[in-house]
Structure 1
């Protein structure tokens, strides 16, 4: 996947991931882009340098397929490896589902991100109008799951001590089956 990205073989507006040996190419919706943009603004407001925050950049997982989360926050000393980072440097991941009840975001990524010790996994779901925040990672997922309806703030403190507060009142919503 990294080689495809470096060669510019991914069409604009698409997200490409390899999952369970399959290449998944998903067009990005405006709702996904706007939500990630709002969250990036909140992360910047928390004083986190832009060099530690990015979207759709490959994260490597030993022995497994890379992931390219909608938004990733890495540690101060994270080491860039060409155009990717290692999962051991990831403090938090945010995903915005492209379809209702997306199995990749709600099942497979929960397990993967928990198994690799990613402290915070946040799903901002425009279909459910809900933010699901997972913490306390373990071998099969996360021990703590908190759901917050859009319109209420989401707050968490990274392992680095930085506190992030996200105003979900500006998050766009999307109807099931709607464009």
Structure 2
């Protein structure tokens, strides 16, 4: 996967990930892009430097498939390793499902991100018109899950003390196929 990314082998507008030994190539929708952009703006407004916020950048998970979350926020001391970061440096991850009830985002990523201690996992779902914020990671997922309908703000504070407020009123929606 790393070699493919470094050689520029991923077509523009697509996201490629490896899950359970399978390569999944998904075209990014405009709704995904707009939502991620809105969240990135909120993260920057919280005073978090752009060097600590990125999208579709490889995050390595020891002994498991790597991932390229839609948006990742890392800690102050995060160490870049080529074109990737270690999951141990990740404070928060944001995913925007590309299809309704996306198992990757709602099941596999919940387990993986929780197991590796990522403090916050936020799913902004344009189909459900709902933001799910998970916290209190543990070995099989997250201990706390809060759902907020689009239109209401989502607020959380990173381990670094930085408080992020996301205005979801501008999040675009999609109809199920």
TM-score w.r.t. the length of structure 1 is 0.99
What residue in structure 2 maps to residue 113 of structure 1? 113
Name the SS for the 1:85 alignment partner: strand
Provide the rounded CA distance (Å) in 2 between the counterparts of 1:132 and 1:65: 24
What residue in structure 1 maps to residue 43 of structure 2? 43
| Structure 1 residues 9-28: aligned runs within 5 Å | 9-28=9-28
Measure how far apart 1:137 and its partner are.
0.1
What residue in structure 2 maps to residue 92 of structure 1? 92
4+ residue runs of structure 1 moved beyond 4 angstroms?
A: none
Q: Give unmatched runs, 5+ long, in structure 1.
A: none
Provide the rounded CA distance (Å) in 1 between the counterparts of 2:74 and 2:109: 17
After superposition, give the CA deviation of every residue in 1:32-77 in whole Å (9 maximum; x if it has no partner).
0000000000000000000000000000000000000000000000
Provide the rounded CA distance (Å) in 2 between the counterparts of 1:2 and 1:43: 27
What residue in structure 2 maps to residue 123 of structure 1? 123
**TM-align CA RMSD:** 0.3
Provide the rounded CA distance (Å) in 1 between the counterparts of 2:149 and 2:4: 37
Provide the rounded CA distance (Å) in 1 between the counterparts of 2:105 and 2:62: 19
| Structure 1 residues 132-151: aligned runs within 5 Å | 132-151=132-151
Matched, 1:79 2:63: no
Name the SS for the 1:98 alignment partner: coil
TM-score w.r.t. the length of structure 2 is 1.00
After superposition, give the CA deviation of every residue in 1:133-160 in whole Å (9 maximum; x if it has no partner).
0000000000000000000000000001
What residue in structure 2 maps to residue 59 of structure 1? 59
Measure how far apart 1:130 and its partner are.
0.0
What residue in structure 2 maps to residue 155 of structure 1? 155
Name the SS for the 2:165 alignment partner: strand
Provide the rounded CA distance (Å) in 1 between the counterparts of 2:104 and 2:62: 19
Measure how far apart 1:170 and its partner are.
0.2
Name the SS for the 1:72 alignment partner: strand
Measure how far apart 1:2 and its partner are.
1.1
